[in-house]
Amino acid sequence: MKRIAVLTSGGDSPGMNTAIRAVVRGAIYNDMEVYGIKRGYEGLIAGDISEMNVSSVSDIIQRGGTVLHTARSAHFMESEGFKRATDMLENFEIEGLVVIGGDGSLNGALKLAKAGKAVVGLPGTIDNDLGYTDYTIGFDTSVNTVLSAISNIRDTSSSHERSTVIEVMGRNCGDIALHAALCGGAEAVLIPEIEPSINGLCRTLIQGKNRGKRHSIIIKAEGVKIPTQELADIITERTGLETKAVVLAYIQRGGAPTGRDRMLASQMGYKAVELLRDDVINRAVGIRGNEITHYDLEEALAMKREVNQGVSDLAEILSI
Ligand code: F6P
């Protein structure tokens, strides 16, 4: 392959820029032309496509967000929009497309693959919810952002002898919550994969209070279907501990990518180029152990993500 393109789609994640840089520079290194598509599949439909060069990706390795912008495109899922998208790939003579995004975006890539287009998917999402890869690009940064927020909240929580429920993102996946709870020393964590017991949670907090704990941090994943303020009110009522609610929201999606995310994004971005260069198509690039891996895109997206029971157990053991 000699002419490829790259797009970012869905919710942005820190490290997407690093991945774009790796694709662009990797392609140029391998004597390929490389095009950037703006606003994900929306820009593909609109033909918002332009050639990138070495300096198009200067000074972005450390920047959160995505210089290509991103969108969630409903239009692409409709037949007319999808047809325009495939026509654009032909008009621009794009031989292979690198899609950087989460579950929905990679399913969009699979749709293109089924229509005969050559694609490679990179897991760009803070959610860490793709079963075929141990880690997604942006997850580590997001966990670190949450950890820094927990530290700040812990200061005020401890000064006022209050408890705080902190809601974190992750869609239906509890990984951000689990990792942040273990690494942030939270007293309790609620994730969507494990049926929450509010009675059990309140018992834990009362036991802590009886042992002299004056403040607690409770991490709640957004996928747990109880509003965070409501949960804080229930805790206050049942335990007598004044409890505040904090929803961290979009701060978790921004910020400079950590070294770990930059490493992942650089390695995965370059792997995508190598695959397309060698005409190995319709793959999803991921990481297993310390190895950069790639699977058939359809098989990869069918792999179910299991909750990391070890991390969950350890978070509970160490929170006594
Ligand atoms: O997929 C990333 C994510 O941040 C999820 O954690 C969250 O549920 C969702 O995107 C929010 O999406 P939006 O940007 O459309 O509000």
pLDDT tens-place string over residues 74-127: 999 999 999 999 999 999 999 999 999 999 999 999 999 999 999 999 999 999
- Chain position carrying tokens 């009522």: 237
Confidence of residue 21 (pLDDT cuts 50, 70, 90): very high
Q: What is the pLDDT of residue 320?
A: 81
- Return the higher-pLDDT residue of 319 and 52: 52
**Is 127 a known active-site residue?**
yes
- Atom number, ligand 1, closest to the C-alpha of residue 13: 2
* Closest C-alpha residue for ligand 1 atom 12: 11
Cβ of 282 closer than 6 Å to ligand 1, yes or no, is: no
Amino acid sitting at position 48: D
Cβ of 169 closer than 6 Å to ligand 1, yes or no, is: yes
* Closest C-alpha residue for ligand 1 atom 8: 171
Confidence of residue 214 (pLDDT cuts 50, 70, 90): confident
Q: One fold for both 3-138+257-302 and 140-253?
A: yes
Cβ of 192 closer than 6 Å to ligand 1, yes or no, is: no
Using DSSP, state whether 155 is helix, strand or coil.
helix
Residues 6 or more apart whose Cβ sits within 8 Å of residue 302: 131
Options 3.40.50.450, 3.30.1700.10, 3.30.420.40, 3.40.50.300; CATH for 3-138+257-302 is: 3.40.50.450
Q: Is the model's pLDDT at 298 over the cut of 90?
A: yes
- Atom number, ligand 1, closest to the C-alpha of residue 250: 4
Q: Using an 8 Å Cβ cutoff, are 190 and 178 in contact?
A: no
pTM summary value: 0.97
Q: Enumerate the domain spans of the chain.
A: 3-138+257-302, 140-253
Q: What is the pLDDT of residue 295?
A: 98
- Ligand 1 centroid distance, CA of 122 (Å): 17
Using DSSP, state whether 142 is helix, strand or coil.
helix
Q: Which CATH architecture has domain 140-253?
A: 3-Layer(aba) Sandwich (3.40)
Rounded mean pLDDT of the chain?
A: 97
Catalytic residue among 12, 103, 127, 175: 127
The per-residue b/e assignment along 70-82, b for 16 or more CB within 10 angstroms, e otherwise, is: bbbbeebeeeebb
Cβ of 253 closer than 6 Å to ligand 1, yes or no, is: yes
